[in-house]
Amino acid sequence: MSSSSNSAPLTLARRLHGHLSLARVSNTPTVVTNALAGAALAGVTRPDLTVLLVAAAMVLFYTGGMYLNDVMDEAIDRRERPSRPLPSGVVGRAEAIVVTALLFAVGLALLVPLGGPALLSGLVLVGVIVVYDAWHKTNPLSPVVMAVTRALVYVTALTAFSGAVTADFVAWTLLMGGYIVGLTYVAKTENRPGVARFWPAALVFLPGLYFVTRAPDVLGFALLALFLGWAAYALTFVYGARRSVGRAVVSLIAGVSLLDAMILAQRGAWPLVGIALAAFALTLALQRWVKGT
């Protein structure tokens, strides 16, 4: 009797953890800061209902993409990562597909009140996510496609506020995309000889160099030092004695919020910088509980 009563809570806990693992919930705070930075680049430095709707939609799209990723990779995971929720049977395939569809549908519904351009950007984002998940294993340009998904978060925020496409917006969008490409290719080039193995690191540091040109104040330089220091620390797990590419990648994913913090600082949204820093810390904390890759 006691054995039966103890197994039910354990099963519920495993299923909950399985869904959180499918969602890669540990990385979710970085998507929120992407939305805040995108809004700031559109000229909105105080969160309002529109910012909240964009952030919620982006989180739902990201989570749907993570579920779909495991659905598409189930056969590979059965061979290489049998402990993942789908091959282990913790979450059923049909259940994961239903959750994916609901997440995409609700995310799009949240963008409807924000106007046609925002909804169109959201539809393009969902399409790019599906393309990435369906073709990332054999596509040599998959890191670029992944970068496009992050860049489209900025674009969707911009369209939600009918913001102008400025040179600064273009620069930061390309820099975010380059950062994502860099952190993704870090794992692919670690064993290459000579200079070829180091080029992804340049993409990781470029946002900091651009931030310097925007004439940051003392607090801005402190933020810059944090970003550059964290990126350097993360890359020690690739180029240093302590080899752990997985740890480097998840550390750099957390660093996305630090990049967003620099954007928010440049736009004068200092209260939101605090939120971005909290998101960075939260991502690191959650990664100890749920794997970020």
Q: What is the pLDDT of residues 214-241, one digit of tens each?
A: 988 999 999 999 999 999 999 999 887 7
Q: What is the pLDDT of residues 73-103, one digit of tens each?
A: 998 889 989 999 999 999 999 999 999 999 9
User: What's the total number of domains in the chain?
Assistant: 1
Quick one: DSSP state of residue 241?
Answer: S
User: How confident is the model at residue 190, as a pLDDT?
Assistant: 56
**Are 203 and 259 in contact, with CB atoms under 8 Å apart?**
no
183 within some domain: yes
Band of residue 10 on the pLDDT scale cut at 50, 70, 90: very low
254 within some domain: yes
Sign of the four-CA dihedral 177, 181, 184, 190: negative
User: How confident is the model at residue 193, as a pLDDT?
Assistant: 57
Q: What is the rounded CA–CA span in Å between residue 163 and residue 185? A: 32
Rounded to 5 degrees, what are φ and ψ at 267? -85, 0
Q: What is the rounded CA–CA span in Å between residue 239 and residue 232? A: 10
Residue type, 232: A
Please determine, for residue 149, whether its predicted confidence score (pLDDT) is greater than 60: yes
pTM for this entry: 0.91
- DSSP H helix total and E strand total for the chain: 14, 0
175 within some domain: yes
236 within some domain: yes
User: How confident is the model at residue 11, as a pLDDT?
Assistant: 78
12 within some domain: no
266 within some domain: yes
**Are 290 and 26 in contact, with CB atoms under 8 Å apart?**
yes
How large is the average pLDDT for residues 11-28?
Answer: 91
226 within some domain: yes
195 within some domain: yes
CA atoms within 13 A on the CB side of 37: 35
Residue 197: exposure state from Cβ atoms within 10 A (0-12, 13-18, ≥19)? middle
CATH number, domain of 90, equals 1.10.357.140
- Which structural domain, as residue segments, surrounds residue 254? 27-287
Q: Which of 131-140, 203-212, 274-283 comes out lowest in average pLDDT?
A: 131-140
Q: What is the pLDDT of residues 154-196, one digit of tens each?
A: 999 999 998 899 999 999 999 999 999 999 888 676 556 555 5
Tell me, rounded to whole angstroms, the distance of Cα 98 from its chain centroid.
22
